[in-house]
Amino acid sequence: MDKLYVIKIGGNIIDDEAKLASFLNDFSAIDEKKILVHGGGKLATRMAEKLGIGQKLVDGRRITDAETLKIVTMVYAGFINKNIVASLQAKNCNAIGLCGADGDVISAHKRQHPVLDYGYVGDVDNINKYLIKDLLEKSISIVFSPITHDQQGQLLNTNADTIAQEIAKSMGELYEVQLIYCFEKSGVLLDINDNSSVIPEIRPYYYEQLKAGEKIFAGMLPKLDNAFTALKNGVSKVIIGKAEELPKLINGIAGTAIIND
């Protein structure tokens, strides 16, 4: 079974031109099949401010009203996505940029919540894995923006970590998939203020201990929950680490490996 890397980069990398360029150099050098999922960064927020469109966050999640949806679609699926694709082409990495509506590749539904209306925020229903496979088999790397659709003409803003997880799970039926979450820290840290306190590996029992003792930064918990869900659904390995260390993450000599017993 061929290897496939599903790699997610966060907004902090998107916002740093030098870091993004370095990361894309490393990404383009990967010989195996590869998919990149990117977050949004701060550009959408800055655009909204310039246009006088107020932004509301609840627990770190953007409430996506109709006007905000226009901005995030333009910025995420347009400017950021196509700049990444153009950069990869310049590095001899043939790539295509997609949002969920393209080729019906990621369908979703509007999030339902008992007390909070997230607006046009989507939760993933289906991944068109055979379309993805067709592109990968043509030696095309895929760059996904975090915009999906509901098959009824409505675009939806969707969490990029979740998109990466759902793609990795779906493609696990067809490839040996490694899911890599790249962000600004060196891995999962025992001390959020000490970048040398990386936990080399986390297994389910240890994860429960860490949570019970509140040893992990709360913002990391959704990423870890996603990681274990992916492992239970066909993904062979999940790695969390620093974007600047992508080659080391792939070779297993950096970051935190999430392992399912």
Distance CA 106, CA 230 (A): 17
Domain 3-258: which CATH class? Answer: alpha beta
In degrees, rounded to 5, the angle at the alpha carbon of residue 117 between the alpha carbons of residues 111 and 122 is 25
Q: Determine the pLDDT at residue 239.
A: 96
Q: Determine the pLDDT at residue 116.
A: 84
Distance CA 233, CA 205 (A): 18
- Beta strands 237-242; 256-258: pairing state: antiparallel
Q: Determine the pLDDT at residue 45.
A: 87
* Tokens of residue 87, six digits: 């950069």
Q: Determine the pLDDT at residue 62.
A: 64
pLDDT in tens, 64-80: 999 999 999 999 999 99
Q: Is the pLDDT assigned to residue 250 strictly greater than 90?
A: yes
Order across the sheet with 122-127: list the strands.
122-127, 106-110, 147-149, 155-157
Distance CA 163, CA 77 (A): 14
Question: Where do the structural domains in the chain lie, given as residue ranges?
Answer: 3-258
Question: What pLDDT band is residue 61 in, cutting at 50, 70 and 90?
Answer: low
pLDDT in tens, 91-147: 999 999 999 999 999 999 999 988 888 899 999 999 999 999 999 999 999 999 999
Q: Specify burial of residue 138 (Cβ count, 10 A radius: 0-12, 13-18, 19+).
A: exposed
Mean pLDDT of 40-55: 87
Mean pLDDT of 217-225: 84
Distance CA 15, CA 227 (A): 25
Q: Determine the pLDDT at residue 182.
A: 94
Say if residues 59 and 124 touch (Cβ distance below 8 Å): no
